[in-house]
Amino acid sequence: SQQGEEDPQALSIQEGENATMNCSYKTSINNLQWYRQNSGRGLVHLILIRSNEREKHSGRLRVTLDTSKKSSSLLITASRAADTASYFCATDTSTGRRALTFGSGTRLQVQP
Amino acid sequence: DAGVTQSPTHLIKTRGQQVTLRCSPKSGHDTVSWYQQALGQGPQFIFQYYEEEERQRGNFPDRFSGHQFPNYSSELNVNALLLGDSALYLCASSPGTGEAFFGQGTRLTVV
């Protein structure tokens, strides 16, 4: 079963606009990660936020985590056509080696 | 330094057949995890290997089995293939409790 659920399922924006994707999860976590996937190929790790963190930045990416609401958001600022991809949140409930539980993803289309 | 490599890239099998997928982890990574991703869905955790043993397993039947070799590479075996096993199979490697890196996947089609 899916631990996380992304919202919206699909998002279409113009280049230069910001894109916000949300993720909700069900159980307590140790950390939450966001991944990008281009055209059904491998997953690229974007950012990890730990359960004791509230916000994290990496380049044009900003991730927030609200453990009380069991939710996270990924903001991509000044989007580019190359950002077109599917984005997944993944939760890790283990304290040991990573066994990730993924959501169903948000398909982002950035129009040039 | 090569990343995570998977083979083959694409595969077509007939219902009832058996298939073996292979994964070579990133250098220095001792943990390999396998995921199944159906079209339009997120990846589902199948199982994880380190020290040549299955350590964690997701909700998959015994038809799915695996192996890890002394060089940390891994195989995923699926017996008695069903049409529903058609999916992208992803391998991820990590150095112990470190971050997971994914391969490009094997696209399995069962006809």
Mean pLDDT of B7-33: 96
Question: What part of A 57-86 touches B (C-beta under 8 Å)?
Answer: none
Mean pLDDT of A57-65: 97
Whether residue A96 is predicted with pLDDT greater than 70 in this model: the reply is: no
Whether residue B98 is predicted with pLDDT greater than 90 in this model: the reply is: no
Task: Please report which confidence band the pLDDT of residue B90 belongs to, taking 50, 70 and 90 as the band edges.
Answer: very high
Q: Give how many domains chain A has, as a whole number.
A: 1
Burial of B103 (0-12, 13-18, 19+ CB in 10 A): buried
The pLDDT value given to residue A86: 96
Domain with A98 in it: what CATH number? 2.60.40.10
Task: Choose among A39, A22, A18: nearest CA to A104.
Answer: A22
B97 with A98: Cβ contact below 8 A: yes
Stretch among A4-8, A41-45, B29-33, B68-72 having the lowest mean pLDDT: A4-8
Whether residue A18 is predicted with pLDDT greater than 60 in this model: the reply is: yes
Domain that holds residue A8: 4-111
Whether residue A4 is predicted with pLDDT greater than 90 in this model: the reply is: no
Mean pLDDT of B27-52: 94
The pLDDT value given to residue A1: 45
Task: Please report which confidence band the pLDDT of residue A95 belongs to, taking 50, 70 and 90 as the band edges.
Answer: low
Percent of chain B with pLDDT over 70: 98
Sketch out chain B's domains with CATH numbers. 5-110 (2.60.40.10)
Stretch among A20-29, A74-83, B69-78 having the lowest mean pLDDT: A20-29
Task: Please report which confidence band the pLDDT of residue B96 belongs to, taking 50, 70 and 90 as the band edges.
Answer: confident
- The contact set of B with A (CB < 8 A) is 4, 31, 33, 35, 37, 39-45, 48, 50, 55-56, 58-59, 88, 90, 92, 94, 96-105, 107
| Cα–Cα separations (whole angstroms), residue B38 to A7, A20, A28, A98, B45 | 19, 25, 26, 21, 12
Three-state DSSP class for A38?
coil
- Compute the distance between CA of residue A22 and CA of residue B103 in angstroms, rounded to an integer: 25
Mean pLDDT of A29-33: 88
List the Cα angle A92/B6/B86 in 5-degree steps.
Answer: 80
**Gap from A43 CA to chain B (nearest CA, Å):** 6
- Compute the distance between CA of residue A7 and CA of residue B111 in angstroms, rounded to an integer: 33
* Greatest mean pLDDT among A31-35, A40-44, A63-67, A95-99: A63-67
